[in-house]
Amino acid sequence: MKNNTRGFSVSNLLKNPADLMEIARNPGKFGLDTFKSLSNQQKQYVAFAAAAGLLVYGFMVNRR
């Protein structure tokens, strides 16, 4: 599988405003590219945080 992602850096976004327009046009692709550029350990952290968020959301919806 080919990986054409570049590293994510906030400082790079500030140096190149054209990247900000790219993000505004297609935020889903930017998010996916950012996720693909993470290491496996960081991906596990993101998955754990998403699961925890879904659990909290489920409890909040169930209480109402």
User: Each residue of 3-48: pLDDT tens digit?
Assistant: 444 555 666 667 877 777 777 788 888 878 878 888 888 889 989 9
Exposed, middle or buried by CB within 10 Å (0-12, 13-18, 19+), for 55? exposed
- pTM to 2 decimal places: 0.57
Three-state SS annotation for 23-49:
HHHCHHHHHHHHHHCCCHHHHHHHHHH
pLDDT band at 60 (very low <50, low <70, confident <90, very high): very high
